Amino acid sequence: MAGPMDGVRVVELGVWVAAPAAGGILADWGADVVKIEPPTGDPGRTFARMLGVQGDLNPPFEMDNRSKRGVVLDLTTDADRAVRATCCMTPTCS
């Protein structure tokens, strides 16, 4: 989707609500947002359970993380920090 952020890559390290919501808006505006989660996952993934939602749906998490690509990295390791640098500098994040 073209927009004012078209061509801009955002590497998001945020969890819970504020940063993921901002990343969702930037993605709406056309940015290529790559969400990096720790191996334990974004705690925001627990919203549905906290709200009593049954099943696989998690509307609050899904809304804040729409239109993003995601990768799980353990940034305490040199190898995964190198992958993070790749996410920042190249078209692919792998």
Q: Alpha-carbon torsion 43, 57, 74, 19, what sign? A: negative
CATH code assigned to 9-89: 3.40.50.10540
Give the pLDDT of the chain (94 residues) as one tens digit per residue.
579 999 999 999 999 999 999 999 999 999 999 999 999 999 999 988 888 888 888 988 999 999 999 999 999 999 999 999 888 877 766 5
* Radius of gyration of the chain, Cα coordinates, nearest whole angstrom: 14
The structure's pTM equals 0.86
